[in-house]
Structure 1
């Protein structure tokens, strides 16, 4: 959890304190919020928590970095707390579904101080990367009351474990719903919902609204309240403004740029950009896992980048390697993460200053979620997209979708690193050589 800006109202926060929300939050939850440094609500929290706590379904459209995780975790704990008796060992009271292992793990970790306020309740993280038989054995032996995980693993567990009781389930949360559908989890989500009682509370959270998300909302929610909020750069205290804030699709503190150059100039412009921002924390997105592997070997070998912390992360890495890479980058005050879209959704990595899209995505929704890793909760940040001359229409394409970009000039005297890159790659015995080929 990022707490540095949460203890006083700033440009990302409303004037509403968690203490002031109606219905009133329980003392244990308020204490957990206080201990975490959370006093004032962000707009999405101020708008959503009272609705869910009043037993209303919600469909929330909020920009990345707006505080969505607490917007659903706090109501989940409050709703479960109201249950009249202590749950039985295999009685499932709540489910939180998110698209990736990393995001599910992050939600699970953020949830722990709040779940600790619930006596006799047990939570369980269900994600890939762990043998499914081990999860089955653990949940059968130890039980669980709140499940947090990815749709694939949750679906597996529900199909394999007969002792789980969903009849009294109180709340279902679908986080990053658009990404859940983009990744092909419609079948699993539909199956999961078919096991659950219709008289439940459901929260659907998404940074973009698509036709598929709308269909999911119609199928899974009952008369939902719709909330559209973004990370605003002014304090908000007008209750009407909490339901719908400005229409921009990206955080207001984010400066969006594009840099146009020929393909053979991109490596040199990238290196020049990294040198210029050596003291900053940067995420670079590539199109494929192979590209991440390639640049993860080549860039550390360039003399100009000696001393840089360059960390690869992609979906084909083993789970332990992914966790180690993410933890390493999170702990840095300056450094570079080379990644695919495995890290583009929802993850709250503190202090990211700049996003570089070496390979821009075709889907504007993916673009929005990539750049949402910076300028979170009212902070300032920069996002730069590399474009080829033939891709110049991409700028207009994004502008129509309310994502305007400003042109960034190429560095004319950037040192040509392409010959060095060619030599480095030629000297390597393939991409599977030792991790430190230099």
Structure 2
């Protein structure tokens, strides 16, 4: 790995230039200065025997040289933390299934297939009935608890599921009519062969039941037509008209059967019937029903993929996304073709609202603001306000039914509550971050998954990089803990450590380790590719900034390492939330210098329980991983790894 060479110092064998010598000095004084300079340079020269590999001086007593890693370090304070961390029992699940709710069977099947189970989490169990009821909601829940499904399922079930439910209702009526027709054919056959009493009973029963069914169907379809005309939906109006036409055909058929029965005197030829199932078209031209606003591109793509998977059973429903990072013309092309559900980041969405004629919000019925606290942290408050105002303004000319707004956040501070007051109307507050729905939690309390084990390690600054490398070698060589995310505070740190570890670690037994990086300065195509690559990797190390700290779901991540501490305790919670998701297990480690141990007190004040991991525990895997024999001490093993990394940087 190439790095810029350091500028040459004054400690070279060259003599100072004449310009550096005062012209007013006498020849004797100049000569004396030259003699002193030569003498000092002669003392600094070292013989080849006094040097080690890399030009490092060898001590006079011939003891091993440890590159000063373990000398002149600040004193490590005693934190008084336990050395073991036992997670609590997973409490994220509610014990109830999706099938217990009035959800479409295909939705339940898709969710079960995607999650590998049908059990709802606590936030889903508490939020789904409220959101399905149609009112505005303010949801607070810990990270990794399944908030996305808490609003996606009702959006698909209520908005788009209405047309599909109508299809199934019509299909059910047709099956009933078909069964009754079979009964009528049997009765007619009995009439032909002279069996009068049984056939008359069957025909009369069919006429009575079919007449009741057609009457109820006519009333329901008339009500549906009136409702859709008042709401101004083009496609549902067509569906209602087609349904009434079909009912009219059935009334005509029913009248023919009655006339046939009366005119034939309970005897005659059986009537023939052909049925065709009419699927009401829910097309791209139906309009935009749901708008989901998220803070980051990665979360937008993840939400879009989840919605697309849930909509597999409803082939006419079209989800889409607007995230930036690609040409505006391609995004406008998607809008022009038509979308029913849109996931977008605030900046690009607001740009299209201002410039794209094909993005129409007049028919919008769902507005979701996900990760609202991060939207505000990233400076999107004005964007969100403008989006809400644009939605209300475009919906004013024609009312498309009530607008339901759902706001979700992991924390509820004054800014989030102010945003809720702007966008929500008489909202229902749902707090799924505590057992039993207790809403009286302390204001500054931090919430992490109960099954998460949390550690801190106090490491001198000179040893932090070699400690991280040792920890990666240790955990990524274990089959059950082979995927890890390392958070750093700057893009340059991510680039440097990714290149360094990629050059040094594979040669130490981790040949199948996939090392990836992620930060905000990377092109969108590269960022998307990193997520796909890391998800597929069996053993992976993702070095990233906080761009991956919120909302992103990366499966099978076992360890979260914070190489540099976050700026706020809330950011700590979001970072460690990338593991132990949806009831799974996981662990987190924070590497702190002696000057950064104040974070431990902040975590304690927030109600979090952390344990201590010693420096010896971090470095102990180096002794076993060295090829060619076991080192005599951890200091020697750590120094060898440090020198190897320094030589990699130098060359």
After TM superposition, is the score higher than 0.5?
A: yes
Q: Give, in whole Å, the separation in 2 of the partners of 1:309 and 1:196.
A: 44
Number of the residue aligned with 1:191: 386
Contact in 2 for aligned 1:90/1:165 (Cα 8 Å): no
Contact 1:356 1:384 in 2 (8 A): yes
Aligned to 2:498: 296
Among 114, 121, 128, the residue aligned to 1:42 = 121
Q: Secondary structure at the match of 2:527?
A: helix
Give the aligned partner of residue 27 of structure 1.
105
What is the RMSD of the two structures over their aligned residues, measured on CA atoms? Answer: 2.2
Which one of 548, 562, 583 corresponds to residue 357 of structure 1? 562
Contact 1:230 / 1:245 at 8 angstroms: preserved in 2?
no
**Residue matched to 2:349:** 154
* Aligned-partner Cα distance in 2 for 1:293–1:181: 28
Q: 1:101 to 1:398 in 2, by over 3 A?
A: same
Q: Are 1:129 and 2:325 counterparts?
A: yes
TM-score, with structure 1 as normaliser: 0.87
Secondary structure of the structure 1 residue equivalent to 2:561 = strand
The equivalent of 1:434 in structure 2 is none
Query: What's the CA shift for 1:163?
Result: 3.7
Unpaired segments ≥5 residues, structure 2: 1-89, 164-227, 229-235, 237-281, 396-401, 620-633
Once the two structures are superposed, residues 229-285 of structure 1 have per-residue CA deviations (whole angstroms, 9 ceiling, x without a partner) of: 2498xxxxxxxx257698760000111111111110101111121122122211001
Tell me how far 1:150 sits from its aligned partner: 1.0
TM alignment of 1:50-69, pairs within 5 A:
50-69=129-148
Displacement, 1:318? 1.3
Counterpart check, 1:263 vs 2:465: no
Corresponding residue number in structure 1 for 2:154: 75
Please tell me whether the aligned partners of residues 79 and 171 of structure 1 are also in contact (alpha carbons under 8 angstroms).
Answer: no
1:175 corresponds to: 370
CA distance in 1: counterparts of 2:563 and 2:450, whole angstroms: 23
Cα distance in 2 for residues equivalent to 1:18 and 1:378: 16
Question: Whole-Å Cα distance in 2 between the matches of residues 253 and 293 of structure 1?
Answer: 32
Task: Please state how far the C-alpha of 1:371 moved relative to its aligned partner.
Answer: 0.3
TM-score normalised by length of structure 2: 0.59
* Structure with the higher fraction of residues in helix conformation: 2
1:3 matched residue in structure 2: none
Aligned to 1:214: 417
Aligned pairs for 1:356-395 within 5 A: 356-395=561-600
- The aligned counterpart of 1:237 is none
Distance 1:158 1:117, change over 3 A: farther
- Call closer, same or farther: CA 1:406–1:43 in 2, change over 3 Å: same
Residue aligned with 2:456, SS: strand
Structure 2: distance between partners of 1:209 and 1:124:
29
Deviations 1:98-129 (A, max 9, x none): 11111111111111132344464322111111
> Partner residue of 1:430?
none
Are 2:322 and 2:343, in contact at CA under 8 Å, matched by a contact in 1?
yes
* Kept after mapping to 2: 8 A contact 1:300/1:306: no
Match of 1:314 among 482, 506, 519: 519
Secondary structure of 1:89's match? helix
Question: Which aligned segments of 4 or more residues in structure 1 are displaced greater than 6 angstroms?
Answer: none
Match of 1:344 in 2: 549
Instruction: Identify which range, 350-359 or 24-33, moves more after superposition.
Output: 24-33
Quote the residue 2:623 is aligned against.
none
